[in-house]
Amino acid sequence: MQTTTLIISGMQDEQCLRLVTNAIQDLPGIGYLEIMLETGEATIEHGNFVSSADIYQAIEDAGFSAR
């Protein structure tokens, strides 16, 4: 498993958090996911067949940005 840590921008409430969480969990091979609403920090463990670019794209498709 690989670990990707990033900061998600634009989340304001629990509904935003659920949207981002669901978008990431819909990717194949997501093992562990923790997102802190207050800071936007996300820690994602994923298999080799999911790249960091895939995760960034899923977040952007959900309407948020990540760095």
Report the pLDDT value the prediction gives residue 65, as an integer from 0 to 100: 96
Which DSSP string corresponds to 40-60? Answer: -EEEEEE-TTS-HHHHHHHHH
Q: What tens digit of pLDDT does each residue of 9-65 get?
A: 999 999 999 999 999 999 999 999 999 999 999 999 999 999 999 999 999 999 999
